[in-house]
Amino acid sequence: MSERTVTVWGEKIAVQVYEEHKTVWKATGTYKGEVIEVKGANIDEVVKLWRDAATYRGNDAPGSESKAGQD
C-alpha cells in the first residue's frame, strides 16, 4: 500500500492506494468526513478518479457557490 497526496479545493488530502487484483487498483481517503473509495486500472487512474470524486463532493467550496434558486 502506498500513500499519495491529492489537492482538492486547495486542501491536501492523504489517499491510500493499493493493488487489489492484478489489474485493479483502489484508492481510499476521507474528504469532508466522507470516505471516498474508487477503483481503476492503474495507480495514476485511481488517484485522478479519487480527486475527481472528492472535487465533485466538495463543490460547495468557497468561490463555487451554486446559483440554483437565486433570482
Which residue type does 18 have?
Answer: Y
**Segment 25-61, tens digit of pLDDT:** 999 999 999 999 999 999 999 999 999 999 998 776 5
Q: Write out the three cell numbers for 45.
A: 487512474
- Tell me: pLDDT of 68 over 60: no
**How far apart are the C-alpha atoms of 48 and 64, rounded to whole Å?**
20
How confident is the model at residue 62, as a pLDDT? 52
How confident is the model at residue 69, as a pLDDT? 41
Total number of residues shown for the chain:
71
